[in-house]
Chain A
């Protein structure tokens, strides 16, 4: 802190002459404004929102220092570098001062921090008022679709999952970041934005090589387990005696199942409390669809080899030929109702019923989120790292007195159809998305806010608040090394090669918004016992095929060209996906935590 105070005083002195220069620069810049931007500013003054009193009277130098001191530490930038970034935002936003822009995102910790703290900082620094709304993930997608359908400007920007990349590059409603930077926002692009520093950029890039979305937050689905229970000598001895291999991080689904059985049935209670060897969720709700479409099939080994999503068949079981989706059912060359997919869903249902708490069947994604933090779950195969902040609060049953967690995360185990070279899990990049019909001035003002909340001045602190890293420089920082023991393996995962094998939904899906709803409705029928697993997957594959056929009628870039139906054996006898039935089970395999991380 002493070091910071000394730098603080130096910078305050340095900044006074610099601010005078900035003022001159600002004045000359306002005269040089292009006519369209200047005129758009005039119309914005009439906006219906009341503007809270601005901070013009405050000394802007003190204002920047205040935010640096109170909020934006630590950072990978030095204080002068941070000041340079903030001054850039202050200068470049002048033509848009007084505007109100609207953005929407899902309601995880990272976005709450943006909506409550960063939007306020941005307003005080730039004078651009940001209404950053938070809502559920399905609602973000519905609003995005509604804006396209109605043509009404609901929001100036969306923070939306990169799962929609297959839709964005085909449907062309979204203006690419590549085009934005090279054209209208060229003069408003932060010199230190450093695109190559974003670890999720591959997920937001279309097959045409354009970046469609700018990553804002990123989280993975990993294996979560009670490392304190796993380390108990009596449990290790009992487990090895029964299964013939050590109790450790499961490397395949058989080991996961054995451990689930061991804790649910054999251990059963710890300190008089009933415990479970598995946790999941299954209520009929849109989030049930993501539970499965977020790479569950790829973990089982349904798709083909090839990163990031498997080619020609991806993790949704959709086959693509020369960028054109050709079918999801086995009859058309897909794998959505293949033996591997049936195996995947049967295991999901079997584990839910046999090893999870009975309540799990009536929980949604968000309701199930904090369940394992209560302290009676031994492991969870599919756990969102966005929950790290909620699982590291002092006083929880899963926390030690010294602030370290009693749990770890590690790469999830894989199903028996999985082969080396395939993707292995899910990683989501919530990313800034701009619709092409948004007026240019609003696009640019929102682009400034987007860059602010991912800037190096802000990103490390945001990563610590939300545990959703987006920058390599943050992941590599000394501060993250110091924090690693308190984050349960999150830092180790992001520093390993595994990070590249955990990917979002890929480019094979041509209309994510239109097709995502089929998943939860079909899986719900299976869970409720109204359809068997094969019947449910046949229904789902047929619905996806029919949707592809409908899209085929539209004039989409790389649009579907659906294959004719043939006997399933034609495709099952060919190499790759869809794969023929594999009757034999594999033996369970586990590794210690360090080896499990390094295995990738």
Chain B
């Protein structure tokens, strides 16, 4: 039979072990979410993360009751890390048939429209995308729209920084810039160059969160359900309105 002191020590020991065990469980179950500088959807300053994507992540993981942390990385690196490591996701990624079997998906988190912009000094009227076939088009490295245009053999020129395309347009180094509409507006504001309305809004894409394919099924289901409820109860519509995302 144990004495009082021994019982106390035994309980204390158990409590410490359980605490360590539980904290390890929480740590092990935490998901690292990669995103990238993508104004106005995801922005990192010295002290904060902000933007529509940051708000979506926060709400989705809270509803799913899953611990997470957000890390900013270039898009290509985020995709590579997600393919290699467990408990890692990246967003927003254009969900396509080619990528479908590489990840476990939660989406759509964002529906984006893409337009072709010309320089402010030159109008290039386009009726169909085919009209842009003889022209050079600037896009962003690793972006879904770059892959889309390349697959149809358009003359695509990629940059590491999408904002550079505005300068390239102004110096006639490209004829058109293919960009996501809301992000394009933000980049134009930043660079203080207004290109006006796009010549053609030519593509719609579904953007989702891509997770490592070993992501636990229960967690995946919880995140999918959380996103569904965010659409059903109007949270997503409200958030999109706040950020000016209207189709």
Contacts and interface: CB of A to CB of B under 8 A. Distances in A.
Question: Are A and B associated in one complex?
Answer: yes
Interface of A: 48-50, 52-53, 100, 102, 104, 115-116, 119-120, 123, 129, 131-139, 142-143, 146, 149-155, 283-287, 364, 520, 524
Nearest to A118: B128
Max count, chain B CB within 10 A of own CB: residue among A116, A132, A138, A142: A142
Max count, chain B CB within 10 A of own CB: residue among A132, A150, A154: A150
Contacts of B29: none
Contact of B96 (A52, A102, A139, A149): A139
A104 B125 CA distance: 22
Q: Is the interface of B mostly helix, strand, loop or mixed?
A: mixed
B100 interface: yes
Contacts of B108: 146, 149-150
A50 B127 contact: no
Interface stretch (B37-45, B158-166, B198-206): B198-206
Contacts of A149: 108, 228, 231
Max count, chain A CB within 10 A of own CB: residue among B126, B200, B204, B228: B204
Interface string B192-230: 000001111111101000000000000000000000100
B97 A153 contact: no
B98 A150 contact: no
Contact of A50 (B128, B130, B200, B237): B200
Contact of A285 (B97, B128, B199, B247): B97
A524 B206 contact: no
B214 to A, nearest CB: 14
Contacts of B152: 134
Contact of A153 (B98, B181, B247): B247
Contacts of B199: 50
B97 A120 contact: no
Contacts of A520: 101
A146 to B, nearest CB: 5
A385 B179 CA distance: 36
Max count, chain B CB within 10 A of own CB: residue among A53, A104, A146, A287: A146
Contacts of B200: 49-50, 131
A110 B106 CA distance: 32
Nearest to B152: A134
Nearest to B100: A286
Given A119-B128, A146-B108, A284 B204 contact: no
Contacts of A284: 101
Contact of A136 (B97, B127, B204): B97
A286 B101 contact: yes
Given A50-B198, A50-B199, A286-B100, A154 B127 contact: no
Max count, chain B CB within 10 A of own CB: residue among A48, A53, A284, A364: A48
B231 A136 contact: no
B36 to A, nearest CB: 22
B128 A115 contact: yes
A286 B97 contact: yes
B101 A524 contact: yes
